[in-house]
Structure 1
Amino acid sequence: YIKSIRLVIFDNPQSDISLANNSKILEDAYLNGINVAINVAASEGIHIDTTIFFHSENVFEIMKKASDAKSDKPNIIMGFHSSNDFLMAKAFFGDQLVLSIAASDPKLATLPANFYSLGVPDKIESNIIIQFIKEHYINTNIFITLAAESKETVDFSNLLANSYKEVSSSAAANKSEFLTEDMHIIKMDKFMTGYKPNDPIIIMPSGFSSGIALMNKIAAYLMPIKPIFITASDNWGADNLPQPAQGAYDAYHIDTLSGGRNSKDYQVFAENFEKLYHTPPKYTISYVTYRTVMSFVTALIKYPPPKELNTTQAVVWSYQQALKHDPNWFRPTEYVVYKLTPTKEVYFETLQQS
């Protein structure tokens, strides 16, 4: 019986501070995925009105836009791609369904029941990285490089290091921190202290582009050693790399954001995208935002709410029924590994959590 929904989009679509010139492209790609889902919902008799509140990292701007978003009286709020933003959302928003497209921090478990993230939890992502290392690089230490300005990155690096030592009691997990804005002045001899040849280097940057820049810098320093890089940094963009991978190294990107492009669900998305835009989808973020909208559309269709509830209550009720049947509702269940070439990512393998 729910025929009309008010949706607020609340996010900072600039996922990578090193890609400021790419901001408008990513904003458009973010919204394109939502528009495709709105068209699909309309074909099911559900009309979705959207209001967009894109913001920067400025806290005062976030507070002002959060107040404006509440005034819009939405039934659903989505966005919050970072864990910090999603955790902060509790202070601004109340009884609506509040969805994150990608947040993953363990602290999300403390949020109210009407908050849910479609992001793969950090513990699962950590296990997937370790699984990949164990399958391809036996009995090695790992060397973790991390962007120190990001609390999420620091927390995840600690989780990964501790988890790796739990499953490899004789192995070491060394860490080295950097500031993204100071990457050009890193003292490499000090930065690489603890690294040994053949140790996989885990790249944990503030964004995918800055991660590639760091790989290039490390590879140049380590010559003639050919290092191994692994990153699970979210790539919102296309298969083409945001900047060239330069140097002699093997690098792998584990995509825990989208679940890859071989699923039946992705094919349905691609068909509907092409109907609307007359071109195939190019950017990963479009599929991620599409799935976020489809998660509540599907919940409403599959678990019809009691008719005495208003729209906001009904959406929350249906979504919670969906989560009772599947606690990982609409989260990726497969994780695609890409190998980096100088200019793009190419498929390497698909992982499933063991």
Structure 2
Amino acid sequence: MRHSYNGLYHYCYHLGNSILKVINEDQENISFYLPDQAENVFGKDINRLPQNFTHKFLFPNIKKIDVWHCTYQGSKYYPFGKNLAKILTVHDLNFLYDRNRSKAKIRRHLSDLQRKIDDSQHIVAISSFVLDDLNKHLSLSNKSTSVIYNGCNVDDLSPIIQPEVIYNEPFLFTIGTIVNKKNFHVLPPLLHSNNYKLVIAGIESSRDYKKQILKVAEAWNVADRIVFTGPISENDKKWYLSNCTAFLFPSIAEGFGLPVIEAMYFGKPVILSKCTSLPEIGGDSAYYFENFDPSHMQEVLVNSLEHYNRTNPHDKIKERAKSFSWERTAMQYLELYRTISV
């Protein structure tokens, strides 16, 4: 929870807060393993085990803990060999789909993950796609497993405040870290023969990839209608999601895809790639790019918006989002915590 602008932070934040709402405090105690900058994120009165970088090499005494939940498969902090029950949540095997990742690095990632799997009592995948990937590429050795979906991050507790910079023109919206796997460079051709803007929000993790997106935009003569916002607040994200013409998500590697159900929460037309977990999450409430050929994508955009405007599936799309509940997710994890043993 060091970086508040990524999906893993929001997974931990919403799961932690939801568990605190449904836990039976008379019968069980929960503690959070947190870095100093996130020490109060779940309140000042919680039980906290302070995280320290030395724990990568020498793990602290955790004899009073019965169950350890590692909330991210790539964590450097893991209680190997400790005599307690361990649950490991696997969000994705995205490194398998990274065209720039060497075979040696892929083998190393698989080896590191296999070591955690071997030392865990239960493996949770955040989608059926991820569980299938685990079974294909790693040995689960008859481990107990389950699929526990993420919840929808959006809430109605506070009004949406208009950002300082807004767009009066119709705009298409997407959000995610600016890296190759998000596949944003296929989007600029969708601005051809219309007056849409394309707003891309997220941390610019790769300058080279941002240049690639702009190069495609220049080739299609639409660079003046591409907007990179950088990371945005939760309020601004909700404003963009509630005001966009459509939400686009052409990612080629997703274990779940939290932005998809966030956009669905506002009843927006959501157009996704058919890669990895996205069809599982979007279901029949989303539209899909079958491939990334510009003419095909342009046709899908036009047809999707025409169908959306003609059939008005706003309520159906919103109900799809509401079916992903953090309270339900928290209850499923709590049941695991209560029943798992070494």
TM-score, normalised with respect to structure 2: 0.37
